[in-house]
Amino acid sequence: MFEPLVTWQLARTWTAVTQRILGAADRPLLSGRYRMETCWGSAWSDFPAAVDDKAARLWELWAIVAAACGPWWPGEHHCVVTERPQLLATEPAGDFGEVGLHRADGPAVRYGDGWELYFWHGTHVPAWVITDPTADAIDRENNAEVRRCAIESLGWPAYLEEAGTRLMATAPDPGNHGFELMLYDAPRNQRVLVAVNGSVERDGTRRRYGLTVPGYFTDPVDAAAWTYGLTGAQYAQLLHRT
């Protein structure tokens, strides 16, 4: 049980949190001339039965350092040490207590010198995605992943309304009871179907998303069925979709 309960959590949280922060930092500091150290190993200090008295004291010292600073880069004649962030906003990101960076109303990471990072469900995004998402800014963005995050931050209905698309029709979603399908007109003989995910996210919410469908659809149920390779009549018989 040690692997899933300790090692996996540390490794995955390192990748989803610490590594993302370091990746956004200045590149010269992360060059191969430096060997980075962190204090994740101090978790072993909670298992004193597995070590002798001398090793236990070493783990205790590591734990003290872990509580006082962030990653550090030791050199032969100097050592670069980082402070811990003053703000670190996370959300559940696994079945064993792992977390990822996310905050919907501000920076997910902030240091004492004012350096901030913004994350949307684990994706590093520019500040405007969180603080001021607009249809114009989204349409100017070249990065597809950043666009997706910005649309989710603004909300699909709000984005489509700002973008000048027209709501053509709505209908209850047969495969996701209690939620609506919304079909919008779009340029270039296309339509956008906005639906709610049938599965609940880890935080208990349901993600709303948009799908591009052919421009000949006028019925949201038919459009939703098309995305599954079904007819509208077949989709209407679904008990639940994921």
- Contact (CB, 8 A) for 90 and 101: yes
Q: What is the pTM of this model?
A: 0.75
Mean pLDDT, residues 186-207:
83
Residue 46: pLDDT band with limits 50, 70, 90:
low
Q: 81 vs 36, 62, 66, 87, 163, CA distance in Å?
A: 10, 14, 11, 18, 46
Give the DSSP H/E element, type plus range, for residue 168: strand 167-172
Q: What are the residue ranges spanned by the domains of the chain?
A: 2-36+71-127, 156-235
Q: Above pLDDT 90, what percent of the chain?
A: 48
Sign of the dihedral through C-alpha 29, 32, 37, 40:
positive
What pLDDT, on a 0 to 100 scale, did the predictor assign at position 31?
47
Q: 23 vs 16, 27, 31, 144, 174, CA distance in Å?
A: 11, 8, 11, 20, 44
What pLDDT, on a 0 to 100 scale, did the predictor assign at position 32?
46
* Across 29-43, 169-183, 189-203, least confident range: 29-43
pLDDT at 242 over 90: no
What pLDDT, on a 0 to 100 scale, did the predictor assign at position 61?
79
Maximum CA extent, the chain:
74
Q: Above pLDDT 70, what percent of the chain?
A: 81
Mean pLDDT, residues 31-58:
58
pLDDT at 73 over 90: no
CA separation for the pair 106, 117 (Å, rounded): 9
Pairing of strands 109-110, 72-74: unpaired
pLDDT at 1 over 70: no
What pLDDT, on a 0 to 100 scale, did the predictor assign at position 114?
94
pLDDT in tens, 77-124: 888 888 889 999 999 887 777 889 999 999 999 999 999 999 999 999
pLDDT at 228 over 50: yes
pLDDT at 39 over 60: no
